[in-house]
Amino acid sequence: MDQGEDSYRQQGLRKRLVESLREKGISSPAVLDAMNAVPRHVFMDTALEAFAYQDRAFPIAEGQTISQPYTVAYQTQLLQVRRFDKVLEIGTGSGFQACILAEMGAVVFTVERQRKLFDRFREFAYKSRYPNIRCFYGDGYEGLPTYAPFDRILVTAAAPVIPDQLLVQLKPGGIMVIPVGGKEGQRMIRLEKTADGGIHQEVYDNFSFVPMLEGKKG
């Protein structure tokens, strides 16, 4: 991306958005800096680009959505990402969340079940800035056993229950953030796997995500 694609106007709107996230309770400087660094408009359809710095979710291809900036910041803050953490993300979608994690220095493994979205992000020009992102086409319910265990797991689709395989693939001392519930809404859950393999769970606010579906879609 060159300067021409991220205008002063867009940079200004983004700063304002980040300020509004701070007012809504996002306090982590690392999260706010990443939200300010990654230009959300490049992840959106040209027709919607003008709205990129509103704090709203928007449609992307295949009936999916790019999450609301507040939701991205909220999940990322709960995840407590550290540099060089190995992070598994379920639900690549536009790839915006993956870039936020990569901007914070994580090593990101992101999984998408829809072939078109997977292909699109894999070839997305802006992604070349982040050699620390790897894309996988697969079913997030299975996680990525070959690359496990992970320091952090972030699920960005509504899970009816916490998938067993993801629990197995979380390191002792690791953290998972996942919205759990049906289409009426989900509660954000943060769970920690203790050193002895126990699970400590905390329940946070209500959100509304697209569903986490089983199996791959070609």
- Residue 212 touching ligand SAH (CB under 6 A): yes
Report how far apart, in Å, the C-alpha atoms of 42 and of each of 6, 38, 47, 124, 209 are.
9, 9, 11, 10, 22
Residues whose CB falls within 8 Å of the CB of residue 17, separated by 6 or more in sequence, listed in order: 35, 53, 54, 55, 69
Under rule CB under 6 A, residue 117 binds ligand SAH? yes
Q: How far is the CB of 142 from ligand SAH (least distance, A)?
A: 8
Q: Which of 39, 69, 93, 179 binds ligand SAH (CB under 6 A)?
A: 93
- What residues are labeled active site? 67
Binding ligand SAH (rule: CB under 6 A), the pick from 35, 73, 157, 175 is 157
Cis preceding linkage at 149, omega within 30:
yes
- The residue from 87, 101, 111, 177 that contacts ligand SAH (CB under 6 A) is 111
Q: Which of 14, 34, 52, 64 binds ligand SAH (CB under 6 A)?
A: 64
Residue 103 interacts with ligand SAH (CB under 6 A)? Answer: no
Other Cβ atoms less than 10 A from the Cβ of 165: the count is 14
With CB under 6 A as the contact rule, the residue among 18, 112, 152, 153 that binds ligand SAH is 112
Per CB under 6 A, 141 contacts ligand SAH: yes
Question: Does 147 contact ligand SAH by CB under 6 A?
Answer: no
Which one of 16-24, 109-117, 169-177, 189-197 is the stretch in contact with ligand SAH (CB under 6 A)?
109-117
Amino acid at 63: G
Q: How far apart (Å, rounded) are the C-alpha atoms in residues 30 and 88?
A: 19
State the residues that interact with ligand SAH by CB under 6 A: 64-67, 90-91, 93-94, 96-97, 111-114, 117, 139-141, 156-157, 210, 212-213
